[in-house]
Amino acid sequence: MMLELKFDSRIVKEPIISKATLEANTLINIMRANVGARHGEMVIEVEKSRVDTVIEVFQSYGVEVSKFDRKIIKSDECVHCGACVSICPVEVFSIGKEEKVEADSIKCIHCGVCVNVCPVQALTLP
Amino acid sequence: MKSIHDINEKIREGNVSVITADEMKDIVEELGPEKAAKEVDVVTTGTFGAMCSSGVFLNFGHSDPQIKMEKVWLNDVEAYTGIAAVDAYIGVTQLSDTRGMEYGGAHVIEDLVRGREVTLKSTAYGTDCYPRTEIVTEISLEDLNQAVMLNPRNAYQRYNAATNSSEQTLKTYMGTLLPEFGNITFAGTGEISPLNNDPEFRTIGIGTRILLCGATGYVIGEGTQHSPPYGTLMVKGNLKEMNPEFMRAAVMPGYGVTLFVGIGIPIPILDDKMAKFAAVRDEEIETKIIDFGVPRRDKPVVKKVTYAELRSGKVEINGDEVRVSPLSSYYVSGKIAAELRDRILNESFFLTLPVERIPAKETFKPMKQTTIRVVKNVMSPAIPITPDTDVDEASRLIIKKGVNHLPVIDEEKVLIGIVTSWDIAKAVATGKIGKVKDIMTRKVITVLSDDPVVVAARKMEKYDISALPVTDTKKHLIGLITTEDLSKLLSGG
Ligand code: SF4
Ligand code: SF4
Q: How does pLDDT run across B353-396, given as a tens digit for each residue?
A: 999 999 888 766 777 777 778 898 889 999 999 999 998 899 89
> Total domain count for chain A?
2
pLDDT for B84: 93
Contact B326 A81 (CB under 8 A): yes
Give the residue from B90, B120, B144 where a domain finishes.
B144
In the reported structure, the alpha carbon of residue A88 is separated from the centroid of ligand 2 by a whole-number distance in angstroms of 5
**Are B335 and B392 in a shared domain?**
no
Neighbours of B171 (CB within 10 A): 16
Contact B391, B433 (CB under 8 A): yes
Residues in chain A predicted with pLDDT less than 50, given as ranges, are none
Give the residue from B90, B123, B144 where a domain finishes.
B144
**Are A84 and A59 in a shared domain?**
no
In the reported structure, the alpha carbon of residue B21 is separated from the centroid of ligand 1 by a whole-number distance in angstroms of 24
| Residue B368 within any structural domain of the chain | no
- Min CA distance, B200 vs chain A (Å)? 28
Neighbours of B135 (CB within 10 A): 18
- Point out the least confidently predicted range of B245-259, B263-277, B419-433: B419-433
Contact A80 B313 (CB under 8 A): no
Share of chain B above pLDDT 90, in %: 79
Q: Can you give the residue range of the structural domain that contains A109?
A: 73-124
- Min CA distance, B251 vs chain A (Å)? 5
Return d(Cα B95, Cα B104) in angstroms, integer: 4
pLDDT for B202: 95
- CB under 8 Å to B202, separation ≥6 — which residues? B270, B273, B274, B277
Neighbours of B12 (CB within 10 A): 11
Q: How far from the centroid of its chain's Cα atoms is residue A102's Cα?
A: 18
Instruction: Tell me which H or E stretch contains A33.
Output: strand A28-35
| Residue B351 within any structural domain of the chain | yes
| Residue A78 CB less than 6 A away from ligand 1 | yes
Contact B301, B289 (CB under 8 A): yes
**Are A10 and A62 in a shared domain?**
yes
b vs e for B323-354, b when ≥16 Cβ sit within 10 Å of the residue's Cβ? bbbbbbbbbbbbbbbbbbbebbeeeebbbbeb
CATH number at residue A31: 3.30.70.260
DSSP sequence for B454-468? HHHHHHHHHHT-SEE
Which residue of chain A is at minimal alpha-carbon distance from B324? A86
Which residue of chain B is at minimal alpha-carbon distance from A90? B323
A125 in contact with chain B, both atoms CB, cutoff 8 A: no
What is the complex's ipTM, to 2 decimals? 0.77
Whether pLDDT at B214 is above 90 = yes
pLDDT for B467: 92
**Are A45 and A62 in a shared domain?**
yes
Averaged over B323-344, what is the pLDDT?
A: 97
Q: Which residues pair with B83 in a beta bridge?
A: none
| Residue B56 within any structural domain of the chain | no
Whether pLDDT at B325 is above 60 = yes
In the reported structure, the alpha carbon of residue A95 is separated from the centroid of ligand 1 by a whole-number distance in angstroms of 11
Contact B325 A79 (CB under 8 A): no
**Are A77 and A57 in a shared domain?**
no
Q: Please, which pLDDT band fits residue B490 given cuts at 50, 70 and 90?
A: low
List, by residue number, the catalytic residues of B: 129
Contact B332 A98 (CB under 8 A): no
Q: Which residues of A touch B330 (CB under 8 A)?
A: 80, 82, 95, 99
**Are A77 and A35 in a shared domain?**
no
- CB under 8 Å to B168, separation ≥6 — which residues? B179
Mean pLDDT taken over chain B:
93
| Residue B363 within any structural domain of the chain | no
pLDDT for B493: 43
Contact B329 A81 (CB under 8 A): yes
| Residue B116 within any structural domain of the chain | yes
C-alpha dist (Å) from residue B353 to A47, B201, B231, B264, B266 = 64, 12, 19, 16, 11
**Euclidean distance between the first and final Cα of chain B, in Å?**
69
**Are A44 and A83 in a shared domain?**
no
Q: Which residues pair with B243 in a beta bridge?
A: none
Q: Which residues of A touch B50 (CB under 8 A)?
A: 119
pLDDT digits (tens, 9 = 90+) for B150-199: 999 999 999 999 999 999 999 999 999 999 999 999 999 999 999 999 99
Q: Reduced to 3 DSSP states, what percent helix, strand and coil does chain A have, rounded to the nearest 5? A: 30, 30, 45
Give the residue from A20, A49, A67 where a domain finishes.
A67
A119 in contact with chain B, both atoms CB, cutoff 8 A: yes
**Are A89 and A109 in a shared domain?**
yes
pLDDT digits (tens, 9 = 90+) for B464-486: 899 999 999 899 999 999 988 88
Q: Can you give the residue range of the structural domain that contains B412?
A: 375-491
**Are A6 and A50 in a shared domain?**
yes
- Amino acid at the residue B221: G
Return d(Cα B228, Cα B211) in angstroms, integer: 22
**Are A62 and A81 in a shared domain?**
no
> Total domain count for chain B?
3
Nearest in space to B378 (alpha carbons), one of B462, B297, B477, B454: B454
Contact A119 B324 (CB under 8 A): no
Give the residue from A40, A67, A94 where a domain finishes.
A67
| Residue B68 within any structural domain of the chain | yes
**Are B328 and B309 in a shared domain?**
yes
Share of chain B above pLDDT 70, in %: 99
A115 in contact with chain B, both atoms CB, cutoff 8 A: no
**Are B66 and B200 in a shared domain?**
no
**Are B213 and B350 in a shared domain?**
yes
Q: How far from the centroid of its chain's Cα atoms is residue B88's Cα?
A: 23
Neighbours of A105 (CB within 10 A): 14
**Are B187 and B271 in a shared domain?**
yes
Give the residue from A51, A67, A83 where a domain finishes.
A67
Contact B57, B147 (CB under 8 A): yes
Q: Which residues of B touch A99 (CB under 8 A)?
A: 329-331, 334
The pTM score is 0.79
| Residue A92 CB less than 6 A away from ligand 1 | no
**Are A35 and A82 in a shared domain?**
no
- Point out the least confidently predicted range of A26-30, B28-32, B35-39: A26-30
**Are B28 and B81 in a shared domain?**
no
b vs e for B432-459, b when ≥16 Cβ sit within 10 Å of the residue's Cβ? eeebbbebbeeebbbbbbebbbebbbeb
Nearest in space to B108 (alpha carbons), one of B90, B82, B88, B122: B90
A85 in contact with chain B, both atoms CB, cutoff 8 A: yes
Sheet of B134-139: strand order equals B100-104, B95-96, B77-79, B71-74, B118-123, B134-139
pLDDT for B25: 96
Largest separation between any pair of C-alpha atoms in chain B: 93
Three-state DSSP at A81 gives coil
Q: What angle do CA B453, B454, B455 make, to 5 degrees?
A: 90
**Are A55 and A89 in a shared domain?**
no
Averaged over B438-447, what is the pLDDT?
A: 91
Contact A116 B324 (CB under 8 A): no
Neighbours of A1 (CB within 10 A): 15
Q: Among positive and negative, which fits the CA dihedral B287, B289, B295, B299? A: negative
Return d(Cα B233, Cα B237) in angstroms, integer: 13
**Are B249 and B302 in a shared domain?**
yes
Q: Give, using CA atoms, the residue closest to atom 4 of ligand 2.
A: A108
Residue B330 has its nearest CB partner, among A83, A99, A119, at A99
Instruction: Tell me how many residue pairs between chain A and chain B have CB atoms under 8 A apart.
Output: 77
C-alpha dist (Å) from residue B113 to B147, B180, B333, B362 = 10, 41, 20, 35
**Are B339 and B320 in a shared domain?**
yes
Ligand nearest B248 Cα, by number? Answer: 1
| Residue A113 CB less than 6 A away from ligand 1 | no
CA dihedral in degrees (B66, B71, B72, B78; nearest 10)? 170
**Are B38 and B71 in a shared domain?**
no
CATH number at residue B410: 3.10.580.10
In the reported structure, the alpha carbon of residue B186 is separated from the centroid of ligand 1 by a whole-number distance in angstroms of 14
